[in-house]
Structure 1
Amino acid sequence: MKRLSSLLIATVALALLSGCAAFRSSIKDVDPADSSTLTANYDQRDLLSWTDEMSNLILKQFPPEGEKPILSVFGIENRTKQHLDTQSLADTISGKLLDSGTVQLTNTSRRDELLREQGFQLQNATPESRVAVGRQLGAKYMLTGSLTEINSSSVRQVRVSKKEDIFFMLTCEITDLETGLIVLRKQVQRMRRARKPIIGW
């Protein structure tokens, strides 16, 4: 009987120890492109896939043959209900366009800093080392865009799970700054469905 009690205690202790291991914290590096999607919301896989698809769509038709135009990037407007960093979308798309070697980019996001540095050099730097003022190149085109979202969920009725659909649409436009004409508009769409249990976690 005493031996059986000791065996039972040892078994319970082992089970508790192995159970605690499941709750230990762990950290590991994961490839963002290969990581699984946990929710229907915007995530890192959307950032990677949308920017790849959008930059490829743009480069199929832009720039015109024989041109290497200067482009100003004015960001992507967030029209969703979520607080999303759409600047990362604009940065990644413009980076891919620049890497293609077919366009040049003006640094619109750092324009104030550029002018401040030029002013500093004009007043404080030696004549032979200061940059020339008024020599910045003007852009011929501007890149703008928007991200919109449509969210729908299953109606209330007796069920064990709730279904939610989230539709995203990323739109990018390139506009001729001289004429104001839109020379290119491309869209990337994604619908993702999530099913959540009503009871449980």
Structure 2
Amino acid sequence: MNVRESTLPLNRALVAVSLAALLVLGGCGKTVERIDTDETRDLSGRWNDTDSRLVAEEMVADALARPWLEDHREDAGERPTVIVGEIRNLSHEHINTRTFINDLQRELVNSGEVDFVASDEQRKAIREERADQDLHASPDTRKAMGEELGADYMLLGSINTIIDQEGREQVRFYQVDLEMISLDDNRKVWLGQKKLKKFVSGAAVRP
């Protein structure tokens, strides 16, 4: 038997082991499944898109059902104009407050109960566009400075958490506080609060 013949069984064994390893690795690969954007899958127990959407819907509905809205209509004879200000994240985790602000804005605008004005950053961009129009647009199409709609109320708020953990079990408590404040005299015309509590268990539980 020559050397080449003696190494054939070894080579075949190595090929078999390699194929088996590939099959195992292939079975552990990543899978991706498209799901409906309204479907709830709470994987980590942390604040997620469903929390943001549902809290915004519930709190805006409560705000629009309170006396301040009808009082403003009776006094001013028109719908109030609202702007969303800062929503502070005072929690233990990273929360994308911009998404929550967008959810609040959507609920307010789509309600048809209030008028809504652009944010501070958006107003700066719009004013730059007006300044450009003042130089380059025709007189009958340019939009004049000083004609903006001023807000009557600003919505401000915060998100807080309390984490209670023992071993592999954890309770995550979220409290969202919102305030509708009159820009005319700083009166707080509505105070809203929403609480969420989640029980999380398992080996991967982290604060």
Q: TM bucket by the smaller chain? A: 0.7 to 0.9
Write the mapping of 1:33-182 to structure 2, written as runs, cut at 5 A.
Answer: 33-61=38-66, 63-64=69-70, 66=73, 67-109=78-120, 110-154=122-166, 161-182=167-188
Q: In the aligned structure 1, how far is the partner of 2:203 from the partner of 2:139?
A: 71
Matched residue of 1:197: which SS?
coil
Contact 1:32 1:45 in 2 (8 A): no
Contact 1:68 1:104 in 2 (8 A): yes
Shift of 1:132: 1.7
Contact 1:32 1:44 in 2 (8 A): no
Residue number in structure 2 paired with 1:7: none
Which stretch of the first structure deviates more once superposed, 105-114 or 25-34?
25-34
User: Structure 2 counterpart of 1:85, which letter?
Assistant: N
Q: In the aligned structure 1, how far is the partner of 2:27 from the partner of 2:51?
A: 30
Give the structure with the higher percent helix: 2
**Largest Rg, 1 or 2:** 2
Q: In the aligned structure 1, how far is the partner of 2:142 from the partner of 2:39?
A: 48
Shift of 1:188: 0.6
Residues 125-157 of structure 1: per-residue CA shift (max 9 Å, x gap) = 221221122111111111111111111211xxx
Q: Percent of counterpart pairs with the same letter?
A: 23
Shift of 1:32: 3.7
Moved over 3 A (4+): 15-22
Q: In the aligned structure 1, how far is the partner of 2:51 from the partner of 2:41?
A: 12
Residue number in structure 2 paired with 1:12: none
Residue number in structure 1 paired with 2:195: 189
User: Structure 1 counterpart of 2:86, which letter?
Assistant: G
Shift of 1:194: 1.0
CA 181–97 in structure 1, closer or farther in 2 if over 3 Å, else same: same
Matched residue of 2:52: which SS?
helix
Q: In the aligned structure 1, how far is the partner of 2:130 from the partner of 2:140?
A: 14
Matched residue of 2:202: which SS?
strand
Q: In the aligned structure 2, how far is the partner of 1:177 from the partner of 1:17?
A: 66
Unaligned runs of 5+ residues in structure 2 are 1-19
Shift of 1:18: 7.5
Q: In the aligned structure 1, how far is the partner of 2:154 from the partner of 2:53?
A: 22
**TM-score normalised over the length of structure 1:** 0.80
Aligned length: 181
Q: In the aligned structure 1, how far is the partner of 2:130 from the partner of 2:198?
A: 48
Unaligned runs of 5+ residues in structure 1 are 1-14, 155-160
User: Structure 2 counterpart of 1:142, which letter?
Assistant: M
Backbone CA RMSD of aligned residues:
2.4
Q: In the aligned structure 2, how far is the partner of 1:107 from the partner of 1:94?
A: 10
Shift of 1:19: 5.5
